[in-house]
Amino acid sequence: MSRIDSHQHFWIFDLVRDSWIDDSMQKIQRDFLPEDLWPLLSQNEFSGCVAVQASQSEEETNFLLDLASKNDFIKGIVGWVDLRSENISERLNHFSKYLTLKGFRHVVQGEPDDFMFGEAFRNGIKALKEFNFTYDILIFHHQLPAAIDLIKTFPNQPFVIDHIAKPDIKSGDIVSWKKGIEEISKFENVKCKISGMVTEADWNNWKPSDLKPYLDVIFENFSADKLMFGSDWPVCNVASDYNELVKTLEDYMSQLSIEDQNKIWSENAKSFYKLND
Q: How many residues does the chain have?
A: 277
* pLDDT-derived band at 174, boundaries 50, 70, 90: very high
Which DSSP state fits 32?
B
What single-letter DSSP state applies at residue 265? I
Do residues 49 and 75 touch, judged by C-beta distance below 8 A? yes
Q: For residues 164 and 147, give the distance between their C-alpha atoms in angstroms, rounded to a whole number.
A: 12
What is the number of structural domains in the chain?
1
CB atoms within 10 A of CB 72: 11
Cβ contacts of residue 145 below 8 Å, gap of 6+? 180
Answer whether 0.95 is exceeded by the pTM.
Answer: yes
Specify the DSSP element, H or E, that contains 129. helix 119-130
- Residue 48's DSSP bridge partners are 4
pLDDT digits (tens, 9 = 90+) for 131-172: 999 999 999 999 999 999 999 999 999 999 999 999 999 998
Does residue 211 have a pLDDT over 90?
Answer: yes
CA 250, 25, 73 angle in degrees (round to 5)? 50
**pLDDT attached to residue 276:** 84
- CATH at residue 76: 3.20.20.140
What domain range includes position 258? 3-273
Q: What is the per-residue pLDDT across 14-73, written as a single tens digit (0 to 9) for each?
A: 988 999 999 999 999 999 999 999 999 999 999 999 999 999 999 999 999 999 999 999
